[in-house]
Structure 1
Amino acid sequence: MLGLSVPAVHAEEPLKVGFVYVGPIGDHGWSYQHDQGRLSAEAHFGDKIKTTYVENVAEGADAERVIRNLAKAGNDIIFTTSFGFMNPTVKVAKQFPNVKFEHATGYKLSDNLGTYVSKTYEGRYVAGYVASQMTKTNKIGYIASFPIPEVIRDINTVQLALAKYNPNAELKIVWVNTWFDPGKEADAANAMMDQGVDVILQHTDSPAAMQAAERRGAFAVGQASDMTHFGPKAHLLSVVDEWGPHYINRIQAVMDGSWKSSAMVEGMKEGAIVIPGFNESIPADVTAKAKELIAGIKDGSVYPFTGPLKDNKGEMKVPEGTKLTFADLEKMDWYVEGIKAEIPK
């Protein structure tokens, strides 16, 4: 009896997807949320994809090495998730034209390099309103990372909310020149509270400021992920980034062969920015107004960057009846009227 040879059935190779994070996935902020997006993609696609991530990657030469190694390892699409990864991503993308790259918060595009960013300023505007109503000292603190347009526009949005809803409130800004350093973030929070600040917002990634506020009876706003459990009494709300839908959509596009370089900008309307809930200590009318602002942002009736807007030196930057486009916001390098500080050089 002759044996029949049966051809082996090879399962389709999984799509390889790489991620590069500026902080640790345990930062409970920016990098943590990007990794939650990666896990959402894994849950969605199962064994159709294989993901790899590298955390704690310094911006600059180290980033270029990590991105190149992921490309050499055969990843089909690589997501680089910090502003300072922009030029290294551009450089590696030129060297690997068959690999797809997407860079978060940047603005440089090529045939195989796209960008994606969320409108965090929408959430900050709501947070600024809530802060304006919850402060007793009229001193609001903002822990800022680096003076890049994303951070500057979010600071400006908070100031615009304060000016509209509590003109007596003053915004105090401390630059810590890091995305993730719990010690520095806690020191900044404590220094501001020593000066009478009783509501703290942050553009850094650890929950250290929230924890400091909890210890000292102040309020704080969470960054990137829901930070409620780090300060149950202090936590007013969190401005949460939801990256899962974007990662699923773009990975699917690579699978379908429909991926094209694009500059994707998404916010509350698309579900990319979410405020999961509000502290029960916030008065009901304030929470109701915050929800009204969210609805207005979603339907376009509320847009913070609508003229007339002056900078903090008195120069008219946005005439009445004009709205800044996102392209304008991507280059923002000036403070709005009311901020008593200079942007670091």
Structure 2
Amino acid sequence: MIRPLDRRTFLAGTAAAAGLTLASGPFKAASAADPLKIGFVYVGPIGDFGWTHGHDLGRKAVETKFGDKVKTTYVENVAEGPDAERVIRKLAADGNKLIFTTSFGYMEPTLKVAKTFPNVFFEHATGFKTAPNVSVYNSRFYEGRAVVGHLAGSLTKTGKIGYIASVPIPEVVMGINATAIWARKVRPDAEVKVVWINSWYDPGKEGDAAKALIDQGVDIITQHTDSPAPLQIAEQRGVLGVGQASDMKAFAPKSQLTAIVDEWGPYYVERTQAVLDGAWKTSDTWHGLKEGFLTLSPYGDAVPEALRASADAIKNGIIDGSIHPFTGPIKNDKGEIKVADGAKLSDGDMLGMNWYVEGVSA
């Protein structure tokens, strides 16, 4: 049975649970007859129709696959801070053997709790630190944004592309840069105008950012935030847009060009199976289009057939390895060469990306 919990209700019993943990020691493995208890920690609501919605679809895939062999719990709207540690600790104390923490800001809280519960397996999304019982997993979102950049550069009439950004971490900067690079391959004067809202999910701020960008002449809206609000504004204002994390076409049937869709289900099923088999090992997974960690939703009516074909060629080239989205020459926003002609940016350099490419206005 699914047990959805609100953060406030969930945290009410945290102090008592912590005391029980100290008294009884680390979590003990359940008997073979008991279902595997699995906890999920979400930064937004499952109804965001974006990032958290995508992870919750992954949770449901686990339930569909394993039935009564598992029992899942999720806690939504957990802020990246002290609340996160309390929620994660409570899930572990409640007997969850496998816990997925699904936002970058949960990294340190996850590691801290993992030390106290060495017999619990933790999976942290988008992080980079592992431990004996902590794995990390991420998606190569920038691959999808290269295709989006191609679409945007091909379709913009003003040459101004909007990018509503969440928080300034390399993952987000990577997406901004991939969009700009590939937009400028077809429209050399294209400009990607960035508005930071410093939140993953804030429909009000996201909508206001979209309005501000459109008022500045932007005619295509992209985003690295979790609600459909930017696309809804795009639809209202008659400009084009791109969905984030989930297919958002229902909110903008005329405006959505495509959406970068996160596919967490197969990974969640795989890691659950590993625990059930007693084969779980620490891993660092960073997959993309090739492995099915992300896909692109069907193109909207605003994308003509020829452009669909060229976008698919880029996508297929990324999948077969003939195209790397960050292949030089690449200059930064100061005009300095950052990636030499023909060179490919390494994973390490991408994961530490803290600079903008030419054409980005942030």
What TM-score results when the alignment is normalised by the length of structure 1?
0.94
Aligned residue among 271, 283, 294 for 1:262:
283
2:48 is equivalent to residue 38 of structure 1: no
Partner of 1:113: 134
Which letter maps to 2:338?
Answer: K
Deviations along 1:286-331, one digit per CA (max 9) or x if unpaired, are 0110111111010011111112222212333222332222222111
Q: Which runs of 5+ in 1 are unaligned?
A: 1-9
Conserved in 1, the CA contact under 8 Å of 2:330 and 2:337? yes
Q: Distance in 2 between matches of 1:89 and 1:325?
A: 27
Aligned-partner Cα distance in 1 for 2:127–2:81: 14
Residue 11 of structure 1, CA deviation: 7.2
Q: Report the counterpart of residue 14 of structure 1 in structure 2.
A: 35
Aligned AA (1:57): V
Superposition RMSD on alpha carbons, in Å?
Answer: 1.1
Look up the match of 2:26: none
Structure-1 separation of matches of 2:241 and 2:350: 25
Q: 1:153 aligns with which of 169, 174, 184?
A: 174
CA distance in 1, matches of 2:305, 2:70: 45
Asked if structure 1 preserves the Cα contact closer than 8 Å seen for 2:172 and 2:224, the reply is: yes
Distance in 2 between residues matched to 1:321 and 1:139, nearest whole Å? 27
Code of the aligned partner of 2:147: V
Deviations 1:270-295 (A, max 9, x none): 11110121012211100110111111
Identity percentage over the alignment? 59
Match in the other structure for 1:320: 341
Per-residue displacement from partner, 1:110-152 (whole Å, max 9, x unpaired)?
1100000001111111011101111111110000000001000
Partner of residue 4, structure 1: none
**How far off its partner does 1:35 sit?**
0.2
Query: Shift of residue 339 of structure 1?
Result: 1.8
**2: CA distance, partners of 1:326 / 1:88:** 25
In structure 1, what is the equivalent of residue 16 of structure 2? none
In structure 2, the residue corresponding to 1:265 is in which secondary structure? strand
Distance 1:25 1:202 in 2: 19
Partner residue in 2 for 1:209: 230
The AA in structure 2 aligned to 1:279 is G
1:186 correspondence with 2:175: no
Mapped partners of 1:96, 1:317: distance in 2: 43
Gaps of 5+ in 2: 1-30
Partner residue of 2:72? 51
Is the contact between residue 84 and residue 106 of structure 2 (CA under 8 Å) also seen in structure 1? yes
Distance 1:340 1:136 in 2: 18
Question: Post-superposition shift, 1:258?
Answer: 1.1
Partner of 1:96: 117
Which residue number in structure 1 is paired with residue 299 of structure 2?
278
1:241 corresponds, among 262, 284, 300, to: 262
Aligned residues: 332
- 2:3 aligned residue: none
Cα distance in structure 2, aligned partners of 1:169 and 1:322: 23
